[in-house]
Amino acid sequence: MVMWRRIRWWLILSVSLLIGGWAGAVGGQAASSAPQTPSSAPSSILGVNIAGGFTQQPIDTNVVSGQTVNLSANATRSAIETAASLGTVARRYVWWESTDGGKTYSIVQTSGNTTASNVYSFTAPSVSTPTQLKFQVQYRYTGLLFYSDYWSQIATVTVQPQRVAATGLKVTADQSTLNNGETTTVHADVTPSDATDAVTWTSSNPSLATVDAYGNVTATSAASTTDGKADDHGTVTITGSVNGQSSTTTLTIGALQDVTVVEGTPATFTLAEVPSAMTVTNWYRVKDGSVTALNTTADSYTIKMPTNADDDNTSYFAKLSYTGNGNTQSVTTNAALLTVKKGGDLTLNSTPNFNFGQTNLAALAQGVTLGTDNQTVSANNTFDGNNTGQLQVTDQRTVGSNWTIYLTVSPFTLAQQTAMPINDAQLHVIDAAGDVNQTVLPLMRQYRYLRRQDLRVSVLI
């Protein structure tokens, strides 16, 4: 029974691969000779190839007679074709050259089935006037199924009889955003257009994205960790240099980027790009190594509650799915970090040392307005605050609950031991700016009769 299940599984796989092979053959038999119409660009989902094609095209270049010329091209296969090949390459790079302006082409180099000869090197011929050579690359399928060949764009190599110095440079990129594992190409627009000086390339962070001598940029793969601290997302600067001139372009690497907010403000993580063939299956939050599913399938996730210190140093990632070869495949994005900055303090800058002078209980019972006496307290007495009757509260917080001012009347000293009733008292709190203007009325019932005790009133701001 075990053996039959294994044989049946291989039969099912073989049928599905054959179907995939026939599907890949749409477009006709392999072309026999250049020139051919360039193939469509490949497509990928978070580094998984959905359709094959050239990820790097051979580029136009200017060289000097006798100079060694290196042309480069890169192509990729679809994930289905890779699975169908069962580990074999099953494709060859075939380089075609035209010396008559593109009228006729001949093969100048063919790679073997196990060699990746995506680079063609030759010595520029000796010329007395500018001479053009044209090249096209064929990514020829050599397997047993029926996948179509891929054809590159046509590149022109202009051979100059002598050096033409570069005086300017502008760098551009085919894509400004790369998911992990994806590639793009940077280009150098050199001035003058017939300059023969070679451009060199550098990356500001090779661990995040590398660039080779031909301008191929490759983003690093997503890390297996989920704390958001891996060097698998962020920005990288690619610099092109020629004859003392330089120019840069900045690329964003990773499906998710770090987010920094001030506490109390929302934080949103957004996927850089979700292809139509892919679906978000869930988002996840990581706190102190613990992963929590957020149960949402949107292209972005927003922390709806006001952010606070507990959200600081949490990370977020998403899982996406797509259908390939009849099966549902899953892809996990990089994890990005949330940083929550403190929103400010609630500060009491000065505490007034109120001195209401002298009054008697009889006058207080009739109702009296108490004035402040700004006389300085004796040097040998300690007190908390100031003698100007000013209270300054600064609230720089962006999140937090309401706060309360408490005002306390010192105990009365009564000549009589019996309690004496007083009228309903009013406490009026006002600030110079008019932000606080509130009357507290009446006083708490237990304070309607004053004895040797504090009178405490709270004012909610």
The pLDDT of residue 83: 72
The pLDDT of residue 264: 84
Residue 426 has pLDDT above 60, yes or no: no
Q: Which residue has the higher pLDDT, 14 or 64?
A: 64
Confidence of residue 378 (pLDDT cuts 50, 70, 90): low
Residues of the chain with CATH 2.60.40.10: 34-162, 259-341
The pLDDT of residue 452: 34
Confidence of residue 323 (pLDDT cuts 50, 70, 90): confident
Fold (CATH) for 34-162 = Immunoglobulin-like (2.60.40)
Q: Which residue has the higher pLDDT, 39 or 355?
A: 39
Least confident of 22-26, 201-205, 371-375: 22-26
What's CA 109's distance to the chain center, in Å? 42
The pLDDT of residue 2: 34
Could you tell me the CA-to-CA distances from 340 to 76, 314, 343, 345 in Å, in that order? 42, 9, 9, 15
Which of 265, 257, 267 minimizes the C-alpha distance to 228? 257
The pLDDT of residue 116: 55
Confidence of residue 44 (pLDDT cuts 50, 70, 90): confident
Q: How far apart are CA 82 and CA 88, in angstroms?
A: 8
The pLDDT of residue 432: 54
pTM equals 0.69
Decide if 311 contacts 305 (C-beta within 8 A). no
Q: What is the pLDDT of residues 388-411, one digit of tens each?
A: 666 667 777 766 667 666 655 555
Confidence of residue 448 (pLDDT cuts 50, 70, 90): very low
Most confidently modeled of 237-251, 363-377, 423-437?
237-251
Average pLDDT, whole number, for the chain? 78
Residue 184 has pLDDT above 60, yes or no: yes
Beta bridge partners of 430: 437
Most confidently modeled of 73-82, 116-125, 319-328, 346-355?
116-125
- Under DSSP, is residue 369 helix (H, G, I), strand (E, B) or coil? coil
The pLDDT of residue 282: 97
Give the side-chain half-sphere CA count within 13 A for 396: 11
The pLDDT of residue 439: 57
Q: At the top level of CATH, which class does the domain 259-341 belong to?
A: mainly beta
Nearest-Å Rg of the Cα atoms of the chain is 38
Count the neighbouring beta carbons within 10 Å of the beta carbon of residue 376. Answer: 9
Q: Which residue has the higher pLDDT, 323 or 20?
A: 323
The pLDDT of residue 359: 62
The pLDDT of residue 353: 63
Count the neighbouring beta carbons within 10 Å of the beta carbon of residue 227. Answer: 15
Confidence of residue 445 (pLDDT cuts 50, 70, 90): very low
One-letter amino acid at 423 equals N
Residue 25 has pLDDT above 60, yes or no: no
Residue 458 has pLDDT above 60, yes or no: no
Q: What is the pLDDT of residues 229-285, one digit of tens each?
A: 999 999 999 999 999 999 999 999 999 999 999 888 899 999 987 777 789 999 999
Q: What is the DSSP letter of 14?
A: H
Residue 59 has pLDDT above 80, yes or no: yes
Q: What is the pLDDT of residues 327-359, one digit of tens each?
A: 888 889 999 999 999 877 777 766 666 555 566
Q: How far apart are CA 243 and CA 249, in angstroms?
A: 18
| 3-state per-residue secondary structure call for 129-185 | CCEEEEEEEEEEECCCCCCCCEECCCEEEEEECCCCCCCEEEEEECCCEECCCCEEE
The pLDDT of residue 95: 96
The pLDDT of residue 461: 38
Q: Which residue has the higher pLDDT, 186 or 458?
A: 186
Q: Return the percentage of the chain with pLDDT > 90, whole number.
A: 49
The pLDDT of residue 310: 86
